[in-house]
């Protein structure tokens, strides 16, 4: 029997309105997780992330945004103000969750899992800045990461998403 690889489905996150959202809701989807900020040089990537979602336009692909103030205090917004900023200024329709910490001892358990090979059994990659991206397969397992300089519309990200969407498509 194959050893079970850890996945994100046991984690819960808070929506901007404070409701808990189990990540098991994204079971059987390719997921791109991104830590975001509204006052960062990379903030235009919010629009590019939405363009990626629209371009791929597949029901089994989701992008999840996690605002953080961990890097240069570049996320002063919270709650409805944050949601409005993302939607009005960048056309974001993908889920953006409540602000969390993504590094250090107080990092959200999801980010502790994503950044620590001992937990995810795949790789260690702590976010060093906003717009660090993690990609997960349809089993909720961490597959790879992309540094903030890797634009959402890069061929590297598009090819990986398509590859993961096509995995097990014939089963």
pLDDT in tens, 112-164: 999 999 999 999 999 999 999 999 999 999 999 999 999 999 999 999 999 99
Per DSSP, the residues of 29-95 read: SEEEEEEE-TTSTTTTHHHHHHHHHHHH--TTEEEEEEE--TTTT-----HHHHHHIIIIIH---S-
Active-site entry in 8, 30, 40, 83? 40
Cα separations (Å) of 2 from 6, 136, 138, 164? 12, 19, 17, 20
Each domain of the chain, given as residue ranges in start order, spans: 12-164
Calculate the average pLDDT of the chain: 94
Instruction: Work out the pLDDT band at 165, boundaries 50, 70, 90.
Output: very high
Cβ proximity of 103 and 127 under 8 Å: yes
40 is catalytic: yes
Report the C-alpha gap between 107 and 116 in whole angstroms.
12
Q: Is the pLDDT of residue 169 over 70?
A: no
Domain 12-164 top-level CATH class:
alpha beta
SS3 content of the chain, % helix, strand, coil (to 5): 30, 20, 50
Of residues 1, 3, 5, 4, the one with CA closest to residue 121? 5
Which helix (H) or strand (E) segment is 1 a member of? none
């Amino acid at each position: 029997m194959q050893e079970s690889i850890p996945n994100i489905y046991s984690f819960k996150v808070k929506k901007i309105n404070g409701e808990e959202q189990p990540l098991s809701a994204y079971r059987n989807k390719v997921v791109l997780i991104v830590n975001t900020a509204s006052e960062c040089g990379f903030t235009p990537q919010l629009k590019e992330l939405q363009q990626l979602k629209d371009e791929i336009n597949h029901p089994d692909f989701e992008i999840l945004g996690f605002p953080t103030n961990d890097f240069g205090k570049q996320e002063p917004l919270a709650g409805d103000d944050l949601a409005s900023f993302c939607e009005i200024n960048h056309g974001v329709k993908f889920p953006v969750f409540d602000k969390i910490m993504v590094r250090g001892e107080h990092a959200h358990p999801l980010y502790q899992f994503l950044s620590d090979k001992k937990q995810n059994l795949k790789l260690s990659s702590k976010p060093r800045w906003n717009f660090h991206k993690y990609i997960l397969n349809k089993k909720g397992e961490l597959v790879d990461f992309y540094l903030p300089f890797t634009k959402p519309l890069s061929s590297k990200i598009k090819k990986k998403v398509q590859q993961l969407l096509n995995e097990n498509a014939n089963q």
